[in-house]
Structure 1
């Protein structure tokens, strides 16, 4: 029952956001209540919650509401994510063609990571993940390089299922990864597989995406690892100047 009520509240709050458009950029309480067909008291409670989260903003003079500044921030993130895929696609294809290994673009999703773009390798035996598949943040090159740049709270949440010794070791490793911007995993998440990943910084310096090369561990010699590191660094440098 409680879960159903929570979902209903979320749907109602989202319906308020849907009231706004290019033609209706400012709305009064009465207009919003009529639009979503709820009592003014209920609508006021929803608007107060949205205002607290900066999703709507109330003009003290007119009493009217408009969309909040947080939506500008979220919209820019979404815009950058789509632009990033467009920028990354030719670079990733080139990386795959040069290394013959699978090249992935990951993004963070709470305490998981998800592959949003992939160029599968040409090797007869190769590694590939499903687009949209949720993978751990605390394990694997892609997960670790993303986690290294997150808040301490998110780090603790991601590694909470590890033993205390493992947690301390992982936190120390994450600090090293943050300093270098590169993570390596050798048979860490799956036996027989290896991967190298680099952070792809956002304009504000935060990190929500990473680029990785993965394949069979037998092909990841020290020489190849150094080569892949440099190729990944060069690719990210091109993104930063795009």
Structure 2
């Protein structure tokens, strides 16, 4: 090969690139802890992160120097006060609408119908956030309005994943969603799926709704997986964890 046309060798990793890798590894180590983990052994940290033990130990000691981790007398590790301070800052400045509304907007784009997020307040469900669909004829709901729990797909889903016994709640829990047609309002259809937080705590339900003339039973069934996917996205976002690998996600493995 002519030296003038030879492909140059890739340069060695720069100090900046290696620094970014170290930061990523440090974050993976912190993320290895769950809400049920009071402490983790070095072996478990290595297993959860996929790092060699010596690498995990080196990064853990670096994090401990700034109080993000603490090593206990038995050699295991726990989160430190600096990690707790970050969590407290996040909670103090957290705005659920910043996470909810983008998911609802995406759901509206995908389905061309209005999307809503409901939470339980006593014996009612309250519309916490809503994005209207693009079509002129649509179902109208005011943010903040209280509606019955036992009428309409969003309320039925909340009841089902709150542990309500009997039907249709057993079926709702098994399939992870519910659809309704004209149950609360004549000529209005909806399909809804549950939203969970940390440790499977039910937060509410996501739904799309619109006129039955557009949302027939077959159409609702077609859109059910789209709604489930949106509910899973919101669940993992509100819980502060990674997105699920399957659309069945959290509802399929819900535990009362």
3-state SS, counterpart of residue 204 of structure 1: helix
- 1:118 aligned to which of 121, 125, 130: 130
In the alignment of these two chains, the number of paired residues is 147
1:238 is matched with which residue? Answer: 233
Aligned-partner Cα distance in 1 for 2:205–2:173: 12
1:16-165 equivalences under 5 Å are: 79=91, 83-152=95-164
Aligned-partner Cα distance in 2 for 1:117–1:210: 11
Aligned-partner Cα distance in 2 for 1:151–1:230: 22
- Describe the superposition over 1:110-140 as per-residue Cα deviations: whole angstroms up to 9, x where unpaired: 1100001000111111002111111001110
Q: For the aligned residues, what is the CA RMSD?
A: 2.1
For the pair 1:215 / 2:210, whether they are aligned, the reply is: yes
3-state SS, counterpart of residue 177 of structure 1: helix
Post-superposition shift, 1:85? 2.8
Q: What is the TM-score normalised by the length of structure 2?
A: 0.53
Q: Summarize the Cα distance change of 1:238–1:103 in structure 2 as closer, same or farther, 3 Å threshold.
A: same
3-state SS, counterpart of residue 219 of structure 1: coil
Aligned-partner Cα distance in 1 for 2:96–2:167: 30
- 1:194 aligned to which of 189, 206, 223: 189
Aligned-partner Cα distance in 1 for 2:163–2:229: 27
Greater helix proportion: 1
Aligned-partner Cα distance in 2 for 1:179–1:89: 28
Aligned-partner Cα distance in 1 for 2:182–2:216: 13
Post-superposition shift, 1:223? 4.0
- Give 5+ residue unaligned stretches, structure 1: 1-75, 156-170
1:160-179 equivalences under 5 Å are: 171-179=166-174
Q: Which runs of 4+ in 1 moved over 4 A?
A: none
Post-superposition shift, 1:83? 4.4
1:60 is matched with which residue? Answer: none
3-state SS, counterpart of residue 97 of structure 1: helix
Post-superposition shift, 1:202? 1.5
Aligned-partner Cα distance in 2 for 1:207–1:151: 10
1:200–1:208 contact (8 Å) kept in structure 2: yes
Question: Highest CA radius of gyration, 1 or 2?
Answer: 2
Aligned-partner Cα distance in 2 for 1:183–1:136: 15
Q: What is the TM-score normalised by the length of structure 1?
A: 0.56
1:149–1:206 contact (8 Å) kept in structure 2: no
Post-superposition shift, 1:193? 0.3
2:205–2:231 contact (8 Å) kept in structure 1: no
